[in-house]
Amino acid sequence: MITQSPLEGVRIFDLTRILAGPTCTQLLGDLGADVIKVEKPGVGDDTRTWGPPYVKGPDGQDTNESAYYLSANRNKRSITLDLQTPSGIALAKKLISKCDVLIENFKVGGLSKLGLGYEDIKQEFPTLVYCSVTGFGQTGPYASRAGYDFLAQGLGGIMSITGDPDGEPMKVGVGIADVMTGMYASTAILAALRHKDATGEGQHIDTCLLDTQVSWLINEGTNYLVSGKIPKKLGNEHPNIVPYKVFATSDGHVILAVGNDRQFQDWCTAAGAHDLKNNPLYATNPLRIANRETLYQAMPSFMENKTTEEWLVELGELKVPCSPVNNIKQVFDDHHVQHRGMRIEMDHHAAGSGKVPLIGNPVKMSGTPPQYRLAPPTLGQHTEEVLEELLDYNEEQIQSLKDESIV
C-alpha cells in the first residue's frame, strides 16, 4: 500500500533556473515536496526559450514550452515575482516564512544585494535550510566567476580524459556537471532537513559545479593522486580494466566490458580465440592492462566474425557483460526501459495532444515511490493559487500586485 510521499509537508522556495538547481528541486518535488518556482514576470526561466523543439499547441504551432525546460521542472508550482522592487522583496520574505528550504543559483553576492542573502535572513528565519548553487562556490579565487557546465567540465578535468586519444578534448554529451550538482544538492538538503528536525537549526549549503566535477573524477582522479601519473584520453577504453571498449561487429557495434578473468576466458571460448585464451600475457587483468595494445590489435578480427545480435545472445548466455550502442530512439523503444517506467506522459494544458512526454524518475521505492503530480508549469501558472493558499490573499490584493507589476 502506498503511503504519503516522503517529503510531503516540506515546502521549497525555488529561486533557481537553467539546469543544476531545477534538477535538484525536481527530484525533491518527485518525492513530494511542494516546490514554489519563483520566476521573473514576463520572462521566466531562461530555458523556456531554449528550443526548438517546443511543445506543439492545439493549432500545431510551437508553444513557449521548450523540451529543455520540460526536462527539469515537473512537480513544481510557478509564480512570478519581481525581486527588483522593495514590495517584491517584502512579498518574497512572507513566502519564505512559509517554507522549509530556499534554494538559489544567483552569482555569489547576487541575492545579498537584494537583502536575501543567507547572512541577511538567517536571524529572521533561523530554521531555514538555505542552499546556494553556483559555478565555483561561495569562497575561493574563482567565486565571483559566472559558472557554466561546459566551463566546469573543462576546468574540472573530465574533458582531458574524454574522447578519442588523438582527438580534441571532448565534453560529455549532456550537462552532466549541472545534473550531478543538482543531485548532490538534493542529498545535502535532505541531510540538512534531518538536522533541522533534530535540532531546530537551519544552515547554509554551498554547492558548485566545479567541486562536483572534481568529485566525479572518481577512479581517474584517485589514480593520479596515488601514482602521480596524469591520466590521458583512452576513448572508450578503461584505465583499469581490459578488455573494456566498443568493438565493430559484422553489422554494427557492441560494447564488451570484461570485469574478471573468468569472463575473458569465456569470451575467448565464444570467439574461438584459443591462442588468446592460452597466452600467458593475457592471463590476468594486470597482464592484460600491460599488454592492452597487442590484445586490442588481435581482438577485432574475432569480433567482426559475428553480428551484434549474435554476440549479445552468446555472451549473454555466458554472462559476459556486453551491450549494444543505442541511439536515443532505441533507448526509449527498449522494452526494459519501458518496463522500468523511464518514459512517462503527463497531462499538460498547453499541449495539443493534452499530454507531454517526459523522462521518468530512476528511483524505485516500495513504500513511497516518486509521484508525478504536476506537469512542468507554464509561467506564473500558480501565482494566484500560491498567494491565496500560503498568505490568504484575496482577489483584490492579488490584482493590486499585478497592477504594480510585482507578480
Which residues are catalytically annotated?
A: 178
For residue 331, the surrounding DSSP H or E stretch is helix 328-333
99: how many CB neighbours lie within 10 A of its CB? 20
For residue 271, the surrounding DSSP H or E stretch is helix 261-271
Q: What's at 396, amino acid-wise?
A: E
Please name the residue that has the C-alpha cell 589514480: 223
- Alpha-carbon distance of 27 to 24, in angstroms, equals 5
Instruction: Name, in order, each residue with C-beta under 8 angstroms of 212's C-beta and a sequence gap of 6 or more.
Output: 152, 156, 177, 180, 181, 184
Which runs of consecutive H residues, i.e. helices, occur in 142-217? Answer: 149-155, 176-199, 209-215
176 in Cβ contact with 153 (< 8 Å): yes
Query: Is-cis flag, bond preceding 53, omega within 30?
Result: yes
Query: Of 20, 18, 11, which is closest to residue 133 (Cα–Cα)?
Result: 20
For residue 36, give the DSSP letter: E
- Alpha-carbon distance of 241 to 239, in angstroms, equals 6
Instruction: Name, in order, each residue with C-beta under 8 angstroms of 291's C-beta and a sequence gap of 6 or more.
Output: 281, 282
Q: What's at 372, amino acid-wise?
A: Y
Question: C-alpha angle with apex 398: 395 to 403, nearest 5 degrees?
Answer: 120
- Alpha-carbon distance of 151 to 159, in angstroms, equals 10
